Amino acid sequence: MESNIVELPSKNAFLKDLDQYPPESLRDPRLFVSRELSLLEFQKRVLSLALDDAIPLLERLRFLSISRALLDEFFEVRVAALKQRIQHGAARPGPDGLTPLHTLAMMRESALDIVNRQYGAWQSVLRPALAREGIRFLEASSWTERQRSWLHSYFRRELLPILSPLGLDPAHPFPRLLTKSLNFLVELHGRDAFGREGSVALVRAPRSLPRLIRIPVSYTRGPYDFVFLSSVLQAFMAELFPGMEIVGSHQFRVTRDSELLVDEEEIEDLASALRRELMDRGYSEGVRLEARQTCPPNVQKFLATRFELSPEDVYLCDGPVNLYRVTEVIDQIDRPDLCYPARRQQMPRRLVSKTDLFAEIRRGDILLHHPYQSFSPVLDLLSQAAVDPDVLAIKQTLYRTGVDSQVVNLLIEAARAGKDVTAVVELRARFDEDTNISLATRLQEAGVQVVYGIVGHKTHAKMLMIVRRERRKIRRYVHLGTGNYHSGTAKLYTDFGLLTCHQEITEDVQNLFQQLSGLGRVIELKRLLNSPFTLHPGLMDMIAREAEHARAGRPARIDAKLNSLTEPKIIRALYDAARDGVDVRLVVRGMCCLRPGIPGVSENIRVRSIIGRYLEHSRIYMFENGGERETWLSSADWMERNLFQRVEVAFPVLEPELSERVRREAIETAWEPRTEAWDMQPDGTYERTPEPDGRKYRHPQKRAQKKIPR
């Protein structure tokens, strides 16, 4: 790996450099943040919640686990992609001017910092705080004799029959190890029963084993005492190698590339091809090796060589390598005072005590704001449609729905009741492929027409259409959303959904379903924007229109709420609009490759990130449009993949009252005084909004809940 690495400058140095050498064009690489480094900045913000005393203790533990899972996914996806580009000689720099090799080196420095912060949070902050609440994670050195005796018995009874130690020699080569599985490399001395000289052995911890073991109360001083599986295996490892001396025992795990390589142009059955690929996903190329800090350099080198990794791919941990498993204790602890208080989801006022949802939708559009408002109206509408004799057809997209999906059950019920049901199932939703294949099979067996979307384009749009005969007229009812048709995530993610029977919108949705399931030329839509056809040019036109309003002295503002902002043309268009006087406010939860606050370029742009109890997931585009505000909701972030490589939909909120609700509940709450958030700096880092003098922060999610009409 190259050693002459370009380092990201500090904020002051960065601004000074721009003062001395201002950008000559909006293509200047200094105007773009590396998406990988921006994603790691997001993970630091998530991790900071694990250290926030204002958050209940068990929720802080959950945030620590989330940060660990996010870092795993970062290596499985982003680092793996960079390594693939380097391997195939694709060394062209991105908009940020960094080659894949430079990005990988800079990413390692930031990732190492995150790992150190994670284990620092665990060892120095969360673990002691949990112990003060009677929730202890016991190391072997602190076990009492009775506890050691019970754990020894547990090892012999529950673990020993399952474990299969493997001595490494020419007859037993280093095996394939499952991604992110817990393993031990054991150094041995002595001769075994066959006279073989001991050297090295491998012990794998099957996924069927619990990673945390709770000690019975009768053996402890506190109500909740736990031991990591890794500690138990370490303590009694000698029993797996009778008569041998254990010189060293070192836990480790390898993270592998998660991308499924399926050439959709060359296969006849996508589901079958994905099934074959899923069998090998856990054994693809390695991208990271994790080991305990106590692991000797020679063992690190031995393991890295076996996984074809370099020393830069090794990450040492001050604690269990599978630390993300700590959240398993939350379900075993009855301490509601250490968790977020339960919140009751509201039902939209118009739908309380109403049984005919079709009649209510005919009265006017209905806006749902999850998780503050219940997802049940969507399920109720689908349930009503399944048994309504006037309903002729149901069409729906399914991206992530969960294992036990109410939506899928209702679609099956509708098909069995004689409705014509079509489901567009996206099999390639990352990490949900297996679940979606099973759901698709269930649907097909019930007589549902299952479509897998468009070759080369993931179907990410969230659409449900119900076709109903009303007297002599056919009417369509539609639900469009920013989130998935998943009852569980509807309680955890902030999303918007719209129920409507607006003729032009429902006609557009029908045309989109026709496009997804059939063949034909691009259909011109009247109200909706869709990728990969009209969404990107439509956004570019609306940004340019806003700039024109600003130049003419008319009201001009762009408000957007996104998960990520990375698409270079959109970023340059926002820079252009800001230079023309447009006030741009961006609420971007995760990656943001735009730099705000650069003199002469983005002084009129502010970027804010909100992280909290709920995952900020809704996508909102709002344009002041000279005083005739337009509000759009969408399934699409402003990323290359969403705008060019997916089937996405953006839909307008046409009723002024509902548009105002979106502004009030999701946009203004992010920018009100005393808001708890993170502001992006020109150098790509984030600073928490200043704490109010003598007053408490107010979190936007709490404000949003209070602003919803009751």
Go through the chain and tell me how many residues it has.
710
Distance, first Cα to last Cα, the chain: 59
* Residue 710 is labelled as binding a ligand: no
Nearest to 285 by CA among 100, 83, 431: 83
486 as an active site residue: the answer is: no
CB 526 within 8 A of CB 516: no
* Residue 430 is labelled as binding a ligand: yes
Pair of tokens at residue 673: 């005084």
Nearest to 27 by CA among 572, 448, 487, 551: 572
CB 186 within 8 A of CB 249: yes
Look at residue 164 and give its three-state secondary structure: coil
Return the sign of the alpha-carbon dihedral for residues 532, 534, 539, 544. positive
Distance of CA 679 to the CA centre of its chain: 21
> Catalytic one among 369, 460, 479, 536?
460
* Residue 589 is labelled as binding a ligand: yes
Q: Which amino acid is at 389?
A: P
Phi, psi of 43 (to 5 degrees): -65, -30
Nearest to 648 by CA among 541, 469, 502, 516: 516
- The pairing of beta strand 391-398 with beta strand 449-451: unpaired
CA angle 309, 641, 453 (to 5 degrees): 110
* Residue 493 is labelled as binding a ligand: yes
Pair of tokens at residue 434: 């297996």
DSSP letters of 48-73? HHTT-TTS-HHHHHHHHHHHHHHHHH
* DSSP code for 75: I
**Distance between CA atoms of residues 284 and 266, nearest Å:** 21
**Distance between CA atoms of residues 170 and 188, nearest Å:** 16
Phi, psi of 210 (to 5 degrees): -65, 140
Pair of tokens at residue 242: 């009778």
* Cα atoms found within 13 Å of the Cα of residue 423, Cβ hemisphere only: 30
**Distance between CA atoms of residues 633 and 495, nearest Å:** 10
Look at residue 677 and give its three-state secondary structure: coil
Q: Which segments are annotated as binding site for Mg(2+)?
A: 400, 430
Q: Which segments are annotated as binding site for ATP?
A: 493, 589, 617
Residues recognised as catalytic: 460
